[in-house]
Amino acid sequence: MSRALRIEFPGACYHLMVRGDHRRYILFDDGGRELLVETLGEVCR
């Protein structure tokens, strides 16, 4: 069963979870984490 749709509106804050299938890690080093943070920053701007 999938989760309910997220209610979206301008200025809202959302909690992000970064996890792979079966709760496996998807980021294994600082380079991957930095890339994720940079990409999220670009999207938010």
Q: Can you give the pLDDT at residue 44? A: 82
Q: Can you give the pLDDT at residue 14? A: 81
Q: Can you give the pLDDT at residue 15? A: 79
Q: Whole-model pTM?
A: 0.54
Q: Can you give the pLDDT at residue 34? A: 94
Q: How far apart are CA 32 and CA 45, in angstroms?
A: 20
Locate the domains of the chain by residue range.
13-45
The DSSP annotation for the chain comes to: -PPPPPP--TT---------GGG--S--SHHHHHHHHHHHHHHH-
The 10s digit of each residue's pLDDT in 1-45 is 677 887 888 888 887 777 788 888 888 899 999 998 999 899 888
